[in-house]
Structure 1
């Protein structure tokens, strides 16, 4: 059940069976799906000499009959229309069409009718409709991720589109794994229930034949939950390597854009952080920031030893050996440079924004008690000139989630203080945003999930554990209550599942991905996969919240 391998296998099959020079044509979503599992050099090895987006290739009229076109697209109406227009005036010698998900009969008819020049060699469904960020962590990269926060009445068609994309992604995952799951969902979430019901309808009714893999072992469990059940995790600063890079700089499809951080060499302006392609990152992606610094120093020392030995070229044999080892030497040089740059930049951000001070208070808010001390600590940080606007906002949000019922007067004082220090955050808007996010849930219910003080934790900056950790523990111990997480239909789990896919409507974090990886490493007998509608850091999470509040406010004013 390794996601990266599943998607790589599809891409391999797409490219290796078509001989000769190829152009790979993708859409805005499949380009992410391919790029996280396949490098440019690997594509070249498969004789892919051009990679284009389907909307840009349609604007060009230059004939390229010497190339074979390999299309890998989501089966959307828009993409089918792109194909129809391109087949009307073929530019390439051959056309091979691979859909990332199930094609409708009507779409197949459109493609068949459009192929008047008989250039289409094959049409296949390859179920890679998800971004495999890590072996046990995937995302759907849904742009309208804020939709899950809105009541259905505000934008019914938008919400339906959001749900459809999630169901498509989950269906493709299980088709790729050749399994059909038992489905459970979070009872307190309407959106989780809706996604669960529509997924079950697709797998057990509409496309039951496609999902009938006739296996006798225990079915995997698909558990669909709501991001709103744990709003704390995406609000916290992170102190483990992968999560910290995403929080402070940003990771998009396993790539980090470094162009904004000042003078940097051209080959380091965008770097890849992939556990499949970078052994140092694979070994250190879940390590604490302090340990990363020491490990990078060791890597630098090792590289200096290699560089020193390479300088001592005295014979033809030495030179030949260096040339043979040069690609590995160059890769090592690039890796050292990449990780040193990342850690240097993050250290600078930590110092400028006083994040160690901020994070200590965040962790206290998330894990421990003491409303009075918390109020004083947050007030002091709001007054600190070095604390950034977004850090002030997150502190007030965390305080609100924890103490909204206990100290409403002090909370309003913090709202007003935040507005005076960071004028763009108005108290009324903040209250409205929190209301939109929480829906009918009270802050008190959420506080119960937050007040899980951990004993014996040495690092004050990593005390917090996501609610997901508790959920996995409950599944392992067979204590996930039916009343809280009902089954869909008459399909119940017979025995303990060996494979569990947890999907978070509203998005996942790298902190949660780390929890899954560490849990899988314990050999509990259950393998977990984590997926979500988007990959969050605090900036993305707050932007989703702001967008939902804006739409809700606009909708109310229209009414």
Structure 2
């Protein structure tokens, strides 16, 4: 049960079964689906010589009848209209149409009516309607992600579109894995309940025949959670490789855009970070920043040895051997350059923003008690000119989430200080976060101070000490997965939908996070899978968050809520 393999298999089948030269035509969302599991060289092996976007290809009139057109699109009304126009004036020799999710009967009729010249050779549904960024981690890349924070009454249509996209994505994942799950959701979240119920309705009623796979002894579990139950994880600085790159620079569909960091040579302005295509990254993506430096030094030393040996080409055989190994040599050179560049740039950012000092206080806020010391540490950092505006805001938010009930007077002092030090941030954003994700709204034991077991665990961890003060935080998701493994996930907090309860020990779990996942949580999933081979977790979400994206969603939700209130 691996989402990356399922998506790659669909793309492979789509391209392999059509012989000859091909043009691959995608939309703005399926281009992400393909790019994370198929490289340019993979496409060339499948005789794909051109990749186009469906909305731009219609602007060209050049006839290319020697090419076979392979369309891979989401079944949206816009894409169906694009296809209608393309089929009315065909430019390619054959048309093969693949859709990433369920087609409506009306859409099939529209396509049939448009194919007047009978050039469509096949129409199929290949359920890769998700972006598999890692083997056990997928995202839906929902642009208007802030919508999950809005009350249903503000914009019912926007909320329905959001839910529809999530349900489509979840359905595609289970269709690609050929499984039908029992479904549970976070009781305190209306949107989780809605998505869980609509997913159940689709799988058990509307399309029950499609989901009627051979029954396993124990059904897999779909658990729908709300990001607001753990607002701490996306607010923290990260110190493991993949999560740190996303936090400090940004990763989009396994690509890192370096253009905004400086002038890089052409071809190095964007680099790929994929565990499927880069063995060094796969081995080190979850390692601490300090250890990464040592690993990169070893890789550089190895490359220098290889480069030296290639300078001593004495015979024709030596030259022939070098030519045979040249692609591997070039690949290793590119990898060394990429990882050295990333670590160098991140080191600069860490120093400029004094992130080690900031992060130490963040981790104390997230993991340890001591309100007086925390207030003093945050106050001092707010006055520090080297601390950036975004870091000041995150510190106040973390303090507010931790001590909202314990120290309202000190909290107000921090609000005022933040407003004077960082005036560009919207007033009331911290208060808006508390209304969205404060202690009264949360289900889980976020700070490990409600449940006796969690209190004992935190005390034991404190007595033992931690290996690294910067990575002592564990996402709430870690506790949730432990509860599932031990069969202790409370029905009262995470009820089932309908009568589809689970009998026996669950083996496959897909956790969908409405509002977005983080790479820190993806790391927890990978570590949990490695430690418990009897149970497999997959993590999915509406987007992959870093602190900037989480704060942007918060700001947009606040703005929309305010503008709607003014209209009323």
TM-score computed with the length of structure 1 as normaliser? 0.98
- Aligned counterpart in structure 1 of residue 523 of structure 2, from 491, 514, 523: 514
- 1:262 maps to which residue? 262
1:362-377 map, 5 Å: 362-377=362-377
Structure 1 residue 259: deviation in Å? 1.3
**Separation (CA, whole Å) in 1 of partners of 2:429 and 2:233:** 22
- 2:489 maps to which residue? 480
Deviations 1:324-354 (A, max 9, x none): 1100000000000000000000000000000
Q: Structure 1 residues 173, 91: closer, same or farther in 2, change over 3 A?
A: same
1:333 is the counterpart of 2:333: yes
Structure 1 residue 421: deviation in Å? 1.0
**Separation (CA, whole Å) in 1 of partners of 2:541 and 2:70:** 28
Structure 1 residue 433: deviation in Å? 4.5
SS at match of 1:266: coil
1:308-457 map, 5 Å: 308-438=308-438, 441=441, 453=458, 454-455=461-462, 456=464, 457=466
- Aligned counterpart in structure 1 of residue 476 of structure 2, from 467, 475, 484: 467
**Separation (CA, whole Å) in 2 of partners of 1:175 and 1:212:** 10
SS at match of 1:268: coil
- 1:534 maps to which residue? 543
- 2:300 maps to which residue? 300
SS at match of 1:267: coil
Comparing 131-140 with 454-463, greater Cα deviation is found at 454-463
**Separation (CA, whole Å) in 1 of partners of 2:260 and 2:424:** 24
1:36-185 map, 5 Å: 36-185=36-185
- Aligned counterpart in structure 2 of residue 502 of structure 1, from 508, 511, 528: 511
SS at match of 2:303: helix
Deviations 1:30-65 (A, max 9, x none): 000000000011111111111011000111111111
| Unmatched segments (≥5 aa) in structure 1 | none
CA contact (8 A) 1:449 1:467 kept: no
CA contact (8 A) 1:197 1:488 kept: yes
Deviations 1:100-154 (A, max 9, x none): 0010111100000100011100000000000000000000110111111110000
Deviations 1:227-266 (A, max 9, x none): 0110000000000000000000000000000112223221
CA contact (8 A) 1:73 1:100 kept: yes
**Separation (CA, whole Å) in 2 of partners of 1:465 and 1:328:** 38
**Separation (CA, whole Å) in 1 of partners of 2:123 and 2:256:** 35
Deviations 1:524-554 (A, max 9, x none): 4100000001100000000000000000000
Structure 1 residue 429: deviation in Å? 4.2
SS at match of 1:521: helix
1:546 is the counterpart of 2:555: yes
Structure 1 residue 419: deviation in Å? 1.1
**Separation (CA, whole Å) in 1 of partners of 2:558 and 2:216:** 47
TM-score computed with the length of structure 2 as normaliser? 0.96
CA contact (8 A) 2:180 2:213 kept: yes
1:13 is the counterpart of 2:38: no
Structure 1 residue 441: deviation in Å? 1.6
**Separation (CA, whole Å) in 1 of partners of 2:193 and 2:257:** 37
Q: Structure 1 residues 178, 442: closer, same or farther in 2, change over 3 A?
A: closer
CA contact (8 A) 2:229 2:441 kept: no
- 2:244 maps to which residue? 244
**RMSD of the alignment, in Å?**
1.5
SS at match of 1:325: helix
| Unmatched segments (≥5 aa) in structure 2 | none
Deviations 1:129-184 (A, max 9, x none): 00000000000110111111110000100000000000000000000000000001
**Separation (CA, whole Å) in 1 of partners of 2:492 and 2:533:** 25
CA contact (8 A) 2:443 2:493 kept: no
Structure 1 residue 435: deviation in Å? 2.1
Comparing 215-224 with 391-400, greater Cα deviation is found at 215-224
Comparing 455-464 with 114-123, greater Cα deviation is found at 455-464
**Separation (CA, whole Å) in 1 of partners of 2:506 and 2:77:** 37
Structure 1 residue 66: deviation in Å? 1.2
Q: Structure 1 residues 550, 446: closer, same or farther in 2, change over 3 A?
A: farther
**Separation (CA, whole Å) in 1 of partners of 2:512 and 2:425:** 32
1:285 is the counterpart of 2:285: yes
Structure 1 residue 437: deviation in Å? 4.9
Deviations 1:454-503 (A, max 9, x none): 43322100010000000000000000011111111011001011100010
Q: Structure 1 residues 334, 449: closer, same or farther in 2, change over 3 A?
A: farther
**Separation (CA, whole Å) in 1 of partners of 2:508 and 2:43:** 32
Comparing 155-164 with 431-440, greater Cα deviation is found at 431-440
- 1:27 maps to which residue? 27
Deviations 1:8-48 (A, max 9, x none): 11001111111111110000100000000000111111111
CA contact (8 A) 1:405 1:444 kept: no
**Separation (CA, whole Å) in 1 of partners of 2:549 and 2:425:** 17
Deviations 1:267-304 (A, max 9, x none): 21111000000000000000000000000000000000
- Count of residues in correspondence between the two structures: 559
